[in-house]
Amino acid sequence: MDTYNYDEQTIWGPSPGAPVKTTHIDYDRREIEIDDLIAYYWPQANPFLSILLQAQKETSPSVQYMWYDKDRPDWWTELAAGEDLDTDNQEIELEKIDFINPKDVLLNTATGEIMYVIEKLDPADNLGTTDDANLKVERGYGRDDTAETGTEATVADETGGDNILKLGNAMEENSLSPKSWAEQPVKRFNYIQTFRTPFDASADNQAEPKTAGTDERARLRKEKLFEHRTDIERQILFGERNETVDTSTNKVVRMTGGLLQFIKMNNNSGVYDLGSENNGILTEAEWRNFCSEALKYGSNDKLFLTSRHVAQVLDGHAAGRIETRSKEDEYGLTLNKYITTHGTVDIATTELFENVYAKHGIMIDMKNLKLKYFDGQDSVLKQDIQENDRDGWRDEYMSKLGLKVTLSKSHYVLEGVEK
């Protein structure tokens, strides 16, 4: 009996014998059941891209696009390190004073003392008693000695670091308008990236009947659409913006910056590192701390995109607080919902968060994200792009798009989740 091995399966050739058994019949004569569908290990959806596609799109007439962000006005600063104030000291050094002007009222939140700003000092020309002083103030300005109310001038922490809160200004009667102060918005930019996913086959292959995946072109269209969308999703999550010009050919390659790049642009201020915060242990208290930071800016209804590992950790300690809600009308998905005092969080898992990203999650404010399509062109399937004399066919999916991330502080990263 001749036997052959195919993909760990024994296949019998013809052989004599009686009574005739299945092993005597040539393999190719037997009608073996073959499923007409091809199963894939891939996940069935790209949650982030699916949601983004449903949410917001914009047209970009140019391959580079810009927008402006404006943070809230400053009203907090700190007493500079090393400042040792006695009650007679009228000159102080604060870490940041550009938003403070004469006649402003300041509160030392550590001591309760009110200070009234008399003038700004130039540390280089300062002839006072305090080196590097940048403000001259009247101390204990809220104290009414007659009525014995208010806080007296008190000695501040000699190591500095006291939080100083600007309350506003206090103008004298019949005053002139005080000095003005304004900040300009910050310009952001990104690029349109061209994504192309081709697939092809010979005319003979297309014409030959198949028992599994009966139409090869239809099968590849489905398979390559998933591949194309996953390529885009990886780029708009993890990619970095860049424009490179090959001077020898004058060809230009552009990449669109991803969400993580925009979040981390500001010295990683949008990252909650659980490894350093709590040795990688995501307790419910740590999750609430993260939510408090992540929901501080922007919308109070956000999406937490994460790995199966992090989602499983959340399930372990917050199962009683997580419920399922349908967002079919908005995103076409059913998501888990977690309600906090700071806002509502929809939890979605993605297969893209694996390996090092298995310990990560991103709190995303979908209202501050947009997909920018070049010249209004959405993703398209281009058919029959092969050469005219090609005995076969060639199709491709093409997308020209980029990501727009407004108010980057409204998005927040959780990383380092071990358990």
Question: For the chain, what are the domain ranges?
Answer: 1-32, 34-70+185-419, 74-174
Q: Quote the mean pLDDT of the chain.
A: 81
Residue 388 has pLDDT above 80, yes or no: yes
Q: How far apart (Å, rounded) are the C-alpha atoms in residues 138 and 152?
A: 11
User: Hunting for tokens 């071990």 — which residue is that?
Assistant: 418
Six token digits for residue 227: 């591949």
Distance CA 298, CA 365 (A): 7
pLDDT digits (tens, 9 = 90+) for 34-74: 555 555 545 445 567 777 776 678 889 999 999 998 878 88
In the prediction, which pLDDT does 241 show?
A: 94
| Confidence at 334, pLDDT banded by 50, 70, 90 | low
pLDDT of residue 161: 81
CATH code given to domain 34-70+185-419: 3.90.1690
pTM of the model: 0.76
pLDDT at 264: 87
What pLDDT sits at residue 168?
Answer: 93
State yes or no: pLDDT of 396 exceeds 70.
yes
Radius of gyration of the chain (CA): 32
> Please, how many CA atoms are within 13 Å of residue 41, restricted to the half-sphere of its CB?
1
State the pLDDT at residue 107: 94
Output 87 or 308, whichever has higher pLDDT.
308
**Which helix (H) or strand (E) is 318 found in, with range?**
helix 308-318
pLDDT at 413 over 80: yes
The pLDDT confidence band at residue 333, using thresholds 50, 70 and 90, is low
| 285, pLDDT greater than 60 | yes
pLDDT digit string (tens) for 294-325?
Answer: 998 888 899 999 998 998 888 876 656 666 56
- Mean pLDDT calculated for residue range 350-362: 89
More confident residue, 267 or 370: 370
pLDDT of 127 above 90: no
Q: What is the pLDDT of residues 135-180, one digit of tens each?
A: 889 988 988 888 888 888 876 555 578 899 999 999 999 999 988 8
Q: What is the mean pLDDT of residues 264-285?
A: 82
What is residue 196's predicted lDDT score, i.e. its pLDDT?
94
Instruction: Kindly give, in sequence order, each residue whose CB lies less than 8 Å from that of residue 38, ignoring residues fewer than 6 positions away.
Output: 212, 213, 219
Instruction: Output the pLDDT for position 269.
Output: 75
pLDDT of residue 115 exceeding 90: yes
Which stretches does DSSP call E strand in 177-289?
A: 186-191, 193-202, 242-246, 251-255, 271-273
